[in-house]
Structure 1
């Protein structure tokens, strides 16, 4: 009679020696997790989910590119390698997906950040981090909210530009009337073009998402608008290890987050005795304040200026000593005052004398018909801009720009495509930050495991060096197939294969 027979066998013996999860279990010691989670676990009552199992499950979700807790537990239920990695036997039931979700919600973000810092320290011990050059960038990560469910904010006086509906839970419009005027003009144009169609422009100034109030409307040229978070990432230039990641709001420019990224990365590296000296980023992080603060911190920046910056004014020469301009006719434009433009940017204004412009033969084409005198303006951080542009024009600066494209952009692409950051399934900014920290941990651990496999003491296969004279022998063998068949009658004749040193020829 056929039936089932109980077999006593270790689950680890069923997993191949070179399997990824078995190597990860043998290489990484996850005992550092329990002391970090101990303050948030009770000593009595019903036993809770083991913190090590909890962290391992989250790592498996990102390593397998799974964003659903249900799908993660279904895979772990059937995968022998994952069971062995978690420390569960075949007959031992895995935790429920709801337990995993509730545990993630109840733990603060600081615990996940500390775990990420420990993994960065492990990479530093393995020699993957140089520390001195950090490359920074960001990307939009889709939030778990729908654009079709956006609701208008509560109006303040006459600032309502979208809908007169007023709800008690909706936040108030905090934008000034000047910032709301472009939206008003856009809605007026829509109503004029199509009076019978209900068209609207959704903006972070006038709308919010009830499902996820921290999600912000974001878009890129040529792409539709989405509700998203900003994943701010700092990557070490040596082996592309992530040294900082955080979930920021998507309604601010990247330049607003640069200094916080620099401070967090520098503090994390200093914890392990490493010093950061160079910061590389794209033009989205450009601002005079950032240039000034980087120099104040003793850091060398390689951040290109944005396209709107004008380093020179045609026909005018700037003198830094006297802080003035000189026109083609030799007249001086002295510094007048510092003012704030409609976009909120500080500017330094330089003015010529009205008497000089009145007798100038080029006055009409220089100052215009209505102005009494010629006026110029530039940023108060012109000296910082000039130093940055001169640094970028050097050979090292050009190399740093190529380094940025080949360092941080592939890391962001890998996180989004292969590590479960194509969208954030958790709500609020804290939930998004937890997901990003675990994704960065999974990326760094995989990087650490691959780096460890290529060490001199590890097992590897070395191919023989090519010998140019063996290609002549290969041609001879291809020309005499009968001779080859006599040597190896069960194998096809050599065609385009390389004959190695140990092949017996």
Structure 2
């Protein structure tokens, strides 16, 4: 006989437990075991008044933000609705069945206030890195670095020519942040090139055509990862310019050394980080092996001899050409000593005109000028070291492992849905990148560490 419900009769008492309705293998249960929020209140205590009404618990806001970035919920208004309805979200936020969900405007007020003043999101991110180090997921021997463009919340149709500057009526928080970073090497001071277009709503975003698609305004998220399990050990936001990304790499390495005491033996990166000055900084200042392709434009495609066809004598400081003749920094003595290094950090080696004029290889070496010249960087020693490393098996392994950074960027955009920023300005981009990197580390730990390895924190 078919059953039929005659009506829903509400019980006087309910025996309901959220704890029993969240599966043991749920992602949020694993993350709850991994995180320890006990230090958040102490970190924020100096930024709250001792008088007045109690504020919303900052731990609750952080837990809700982690849910949003972990589950790809980009809207904070929708996040509040989902936390109100979803039992697992309520359990993770420790709200119970009747707990009140904060209004979405609370996030904006705290983000622009106490969270940024106290650098709380950086503290939460570093908390995950410390946990990864404690659990043995970070080796510390090899790092990799890379950057990826993330679309900014700026309309390219409303942009103005970059050489005209901001319009007189441009105002807002993003404009103030843009003016504050004009002298920052990771933003305005990264390059003297004037951007082609400027957004009045988010002027710090860079107009970029680095992808095959239509040009767009963007920021760059820079990841420094440990190669053992692809744990993100640091993240930095910059404008989308190569020089700014190199600056971010240096800042991240120094910050990781100071904060966690991690001193990597090698660094893997692509050719964008292979300029002479950066290679010298890694080798001479930090003692790090650069597993990086050398940024070199000395190759020729017209059939003439390239710089690699000349042999350098380190002891006597001269080049020897294929014809057996010497190229020196100076072929005569000067009464007043002159600097051999130009403003770009290069030393010029010249052959004698009479040597080149009678050389049998002249047409293959210097057909258009009287004597051959070769430019050598003052950091050529570091470049030579990088070239030597590129011939080893360890370099091949590092090149393969470097793809882990690109996989993290793909996860960031496809799974966490962070392919376009929701917040404006450098600070807004920094907040989003820090939260996303925090969640990626948490998901990594939840995947690699068994549940039995953790004791639940409350």
- Range of TM-score over shorter length: 0.7 to 0.9
Residues 1:141 and 1:78: Cα distance change in structure 2 (over 3 Å): same
- 3-state SS, counterpart of residue 96 of structure 2: coil
Q: Is the 8 A contact 1:120 1:242 kept in 2?
A: yes
Residues 1:314 and 1:391: Cα distance change in structure 2 (over 3 Å): closer
Matched with 2:303 is none
Please say if 1:373 is aligned against 2:371: yes
What TM-score results when the alignment is normalised by the length of structure 2? 0.82
Q: Is the 8 A contact 1:153 1:166 kept in 2?
A: no
Q: Is the 8 A contact 2:235 2:437 kept in 1?
A: yes
Matched with 1:5 is 11
Matches of 2:345 and 2:84 in 1, distance apart?
60
- 3-state SS, counterpart of residue 108 of structure 1: helix
Matches of 1:20 and 1:267 in 2, distance apart?
32
| 1:102-251 matches, cutoff 5 A | 102-106=109-113, 107-108=115-116, 110-153=119-162, 155=164, 167=168, 169=170, 204-251=194-241
Residues 1:381 and 1:310: Cα distance change in structure 2 (over 3 Å): farther
Deviation readout 1:208-244 (Å, 9 max, x if unpaired):
2111121111232422211111110011112221100
Matches of 1:258 and 1:327 in 2, distance apart?
37
Matches of 1:318 and 1:366 in 2, distance apart?
16
Q: Is the 8 A contact 2:195 2:207 kept in 1?
A: no
The CA deviation at 1:417 is 1.6
Task: Find runs of 4+ consecutive structure 1 residues off by over 6 angstroms.
Answer: 454-458
Please say if 1:352 is aligned against 2:355: no
Q: Is the 8 A contact 2:128 2:442 kept in 1?
A: yes
Deviation readout 1:69-106 (Å, 9 max, x if unpaired):
11211211110000011111222220111112221121
| 1:259-278 matches, cutoff 5 A | 259-270=250-261, 274-278=262-266
Residues 1:320 and 1:424: Cα distance change in structure 2 (over 3 Å): same
Matched with 2:391 is 393
Matches of 2:453 and 2:106 in 1, distance apart?
43
Please say if 1:299 is aligned against 2:297: no
Matches of 1:275 and 1:315 in 2, distance apart?
37
Matches of 1:364 and 1:17 in 2, distance apart?
76
* Structure of higher RCO (CA pairs closer than 8 Å, 6+ residues apart): 2
The number of equivalent residue pairs is: 412
Q: Is the 8 A contact 1:137 1:408 kept in 2?
A: yes
Please say if 1:93 is aligned against 2:100: yes
The CA deviation at 1:43 is 2.5
Matches of 1:38 and 1:263 in 2, distance apart?
28
Structure 1 or 2, whichever has the larger Rg, is 1
Matches of 1:454 and 1:21 in 2, distance apart?
12
Match of 1:446 among 435, 439, 443: 443
Deviation readout 1:314-339 (Å, 9 max, x if unpaired):
65332222221223333221114333
